[in-house]
Amino acid sequence: MKNNRLSKIYQLFCSIQWIIILLILLFFPACSHGDISHKDLNHLFILLLVLFIACIFILLIQGNKRLQQMSSIKQELDSKSKELIQARAELLEKENVRIINLSNEDDLRKMSFFQTEIYLKIKDISNDEEGKKMTREDWIALEKELNNIYDNFAVRLKSCCEQISETELHVCYLLKAGFSVTSISKIIGRTKSAVSMCRRRLLEKINGCDCPAADLDDFISTI
């Protein structure tokens, strides 16, 4: 902006210089012949000087107005920027609080589930070396607890993929309960490779339904 002002002043100087040269060229012949007195020339140069000063004054006033406008715009932008930063900070704080609350709720649900009778029984089965199996009543009890603690988990799972088999359903229940593939293989009496194959087949079924997912564990954790 400073360079722009200097450029305008320079242009004004050049314009006045050319005006002075033009006037000299016009009036010099008349002055040499005595048609115009030196007093008249003095008056002319005084007039040009006043004109020059007036132009500089006008230019400075315009520049000052421009500076005031730019300052006002800058203050307005700074104010809006501060408001935007404050709004983002408040939004981030609310989001952090929401995440913390959700994390606390999820932790409480897990703690509550880990203390249930059916979970403790499944935990014993996963650690048992004698090949204990879950009964039909155990699976029903597990489904009921998962529905109670995780907002109808089994119901929403079945609605996402109606083609899911009973074994695949049991694998999903155990994944939601936090058991590893190794533990799941012992609980349902299958090899780890069979459980892994079941997981892949289940993911293919889910992707063929209305609830596509890139990863089975992520899918289970979100429903």
- Write out pLDDT tens, residues 4-56: 555 655 566 566 666 666 666 655 555 555 555 666 667 767 777 777 777 77
> Is 95 in the same domain as 146?
no
Which of residues 59 and 182 earns the better pLDDT score? 182
> Is 195 in the same domain as 143?
yes
Residue-wise pLDDT tens digits, 77-110: 888 888 888 877 777 777 766 656 656 667 777 7
Q: Which of 106, 128, 148 is the last residue of a domain?
A: 106
* 187 in any annotated domain: yes
The stretch 170-197 carries a mean pLDDT of: 92
* 111 in any annotated domain: no
* 191 in any annotated domain: yes
Is 0.85 topped by the overall pTM? no
> Is 208 in the same domain as 125?
yes
> Is 135 in the same domain as 58?
no
pLDDT of residue 17: 62
Instruction: Tell me which DSSP letter residue 133 carries.
Output: -
pLDDT of residue 4: 59
Residue-wise pLDDT tens digits, 144-173: 999 988 889 999 888 887 788 899 999 999
Domain count, the chain: 2
> Is 37 in the same domain as 95?
yes
Contacts of residue 219, Cβ cutoff 8 Å, sequence gap at least 6: 203, 206, 211, 213
> Is 58 in the same domain as 100?
yes
Q: Which domain holds residue 142?
A: 116-222
Q: 3-state SS string over 69-99?
A: HHHHHHHHHHHHHHHHHHHHHHHHHHHHHHH
Looking up tokens 């307005």, which residue turns up? 76
